[in-house]
A and B are shown apart, each in its own frame.
Chain A
Amino acid sequence: MTLREMWRRVQYLRHRDEYADELREEMQLHVELRARKMRGQAVAGAEFAARRQFGNPTLLAEASAGAWGWGAWERLAQDLRHCFRALRKTPAFTIVAVVTLALGLGINSAVFSVVNAVMLRGLPYPDPARLVQFWGLFLNPPPGFVSPEARFGGPARTNNLSAPAFVEFQRGASNFLDLAAFTRSPHNLTGIGKPAQVWGESVTTGFFSLLGANAAQGRVFLSEDERAGAGPVAILSYAFWQRRLGGDAAVLERSIVLDGQPYRVIGVLPPDFQSPGQIAEADSSEYFLARPYQDSDLKNYGSRFLIVLGRLKPGVSLLRAQAEIDAIGARLEGYSGSKRGFRTMVAPLQDDLVRHVGRSLFALLGASALIVLITCGNVANLLLVRAIARHHETSVRFALGASRFRVVRQFLMESLVVAFTGSVVGLSLGDVLLRLLIAIAPAEIPRIHSVSMDWRVFVVSAALATLTGILFGLAPAWRASRTRPAASLRSTKQPGGDPNQARWRSGLTIAEVALSMMLLVGAGLLIKSFVRLAGVDLGFQPGHVLAMSVNLPDASYRTPEKRLQFFQELEQRTRNLPGVQSVAFANRMPLRGGWSTGVTLVRPADEIYVGTDGQAVSPGYFATVGIVLLRGRLITEADGIEQERVAVVNQEFARKYLKDIDPIGREVYWNKQTPLKIVGVVNDIRRAGKDAPIRTELYVSAAQADLYPVRLGDFAIRTTGDPRLLKSAIQAQVWAIDPDQPVTSVKTFDQIIDDDLSGRWFDTLLLVIFAGVAVGIAVIGVFGVLQYSVSQRTPEFGIRIALGAQRSGIHALVFRQAGRLILAGVAIGLAGAFVMTRFLESMLFEVPRHDLWTYIAAAALLAAVSATAAAVPARRGASVDPIVALRYE
């Protein structure tokens, strides 16, 4: 085909109607001229003869148009027009199908995008599969052990290793390209704006090369930076450089002051760099310092504070690496002389980062997959019904000479148009949902803010839905294409579809009901958990309390006494502020972490080593937090450094360790020199939050500062009014004592509790929405099938009524059919829920996953809703006018 020929074809396409008119005129002239000539020859019926000799002008016109080579396209466009007309004529079908698809696809792609970004997409480092983290496993954990990760109880493991262990592993591990260690902690930043507490990491020099990161400006650490004589240097995050230094071009000539110590800036990291330590955290790491440990740490095997990462050599399996680590570990065990077994494990870094959220995200993913299944089921059902309802039309088209290809293509096109529209609407819905999801998601989900719509996800689910549509749209069309049109045309009756198809429809409806039943049970269990949790009594009075952290840097507050002094002065200064009822300081306030320890308890018959929470508290602590004295006395101002060492325990401590023994007067000690006498018993609290168990508590006097190794850091006030109003007044008092001292994590107890619940709220809300959508779709399914079946059976109902059947009987007939579908669906769904809620178990709070009442309530709800959906077709069936109905035949 030459270019010019192509041009002529395109010209034709642009002026199609003109061409057709011209051709018609030409042919008209031809026939007229022929007729005139025939008349001249006296042919009888000249005009008719001329026309007969000319042939069928319509066919000729079509053939002429066909010469331009656009025929196939025109037929396609024709089919498309027909398809849109057909869809417009059945708005109910179109809307339901499109909305169902859009909901299913939108929800699924939004949720999957989150899961994918958080868990499936690799870590933002080159070759992330070879990155591992080191774990310490306590083989014989002390009683009451609390690991830092699993907040309560949980596996006795820690992600912290000691400095000598790290050095040994780094020296001995030949299966690793390198090992790196880091610690993450906040420092007080001064000299740039107001003093602020900023998080940063101290890393070994190989840290950045291990992660495959390089500096955007300047350089990363070299091994010289770690040498003893080297001046302190820092690498800044891109955010630090931009926000705190205003993108200063001369950043590499500046220094920053952290805890009073200046650090020379040697590099700035690229904007997208995220260290593993900050990924699951709210505060990002803004600077990196060299040397995470001191030389003095290298002798202490028991002090574990380093997080250790490693990069495996290519081709090295985790098992081989573990074997090597075990060998080195066995040697270490000898040095440390520890009596409790400690085993170092390596695990993929990815596993660690998502462990908090993995469970709940997988549950949500499962739920959204169920939604897609329901969606597909519903669309299949709708198309099936539609195809059967159009059996007659298909027959007519065949009778008029349509090719099988055209008819099948027609159905195919309708399925595709529905699928396409549904996908487009679903895509925009998914985008909105995703934004909503990110907005309401708890901050603890790592990388949540970098989540964007994942195209692959959307394409896959859209393809799935389309395929379903095609399959179920085509099967009936194909079948119809093989029926003889004559048979179908002879009867005006609505064809019933064969029993096979009826079975399919029922099966699909039952499946929809069953799937939504499972989601409903899941949602019910979560709601119940949430209600339970919200109603938990903390044991103290969280209202009207504002807590904050005042982390005093070592540089200016080297000793416990100095820190105590600072807090005592702050207490003095704030105690009499207007609106303040009481003030308190401690190492940590409830809900804000704490100290787990172990003490030796002296009982009349023996001495036992017991694990317990330990808190160093000021005398005002109990009144401020709202803890009640049950026996003995509280810690008072008099319990100073010169006096007898005292402790207060909670009921749980007394119950667990001092059964049938009067706790007052008992002694506990960390070391023999300073035994503490128990002087009082207070009530139990859930220190770590509503979903935390009650734990044993040991309170010591903060003033007896030689007793405890933890640092005083938290300050709290109880007020008569809104405690947040006093925030700046307290800040001012802190600065009056030390102008370089920042106050951080200022939050009311109520805020902390709300934040704690928000994660559960997120999961619960999502599952409830999912369940709602699922039930909605399933109800549409039930309604559709019944409505269709009623319209099929209209003549039958007519006859029944004509023969004297009661309308209520017809009503019951339809309901029986509905009942069978619903009951089957509910039963299967309950069985499914019984199995599937296993994946929900970790998200439940004090609700067994087979909670009977939840199952009953969910089943009743679903049955009631679907029965309501059945009422409309039932009424329609019962109100059939026998005369009209019989006229159908």
Chain B
Amino acid sequence: MTITRRHLLTAIPLLALVKPAAATPEAMATAIASYTGNKLPKTGKVTFDIAKLIDNGNAVPVTIRVDSPMTEQDHVTGIAIFNEKNPLPDVARFTLGPRAGKAEVSTRIRLATSQKLSAIAQLSDGSYWQQTVDVIVTLAACIEGEAM
């Protein structure tokens, strides 16, 4: 069988499938909605500490602080990180409580490319708060995972 131009054209959608699926802003919005139970998080209370310019996307230090007294009546019950353009919109979900004493979590995450990140905090009164940051990534994580 000779390969015609028509065959090549039909192969292009297949090549696109080889590339790992990337999360989209819509996928991030859906993941956030499932975390908050369709409540729209308010902006504030949360401090998302991350470098604006990231050299190495394989291990990006992040710190999330929430302004909360952390008492039995008023505390943070959860903190979650979401991203826009990694293969999956979820990064991590932390469960806290009044025993935590301080609503602050640090970790290291992977970033596939320059994108928007959201940190969402759930408070004991049922409200959700967020902060969104834009970051630039020069060396992407999982670059060897990219087909083409």
Please indicate whether A and B come from the same complex rather than being unrelated chains: no
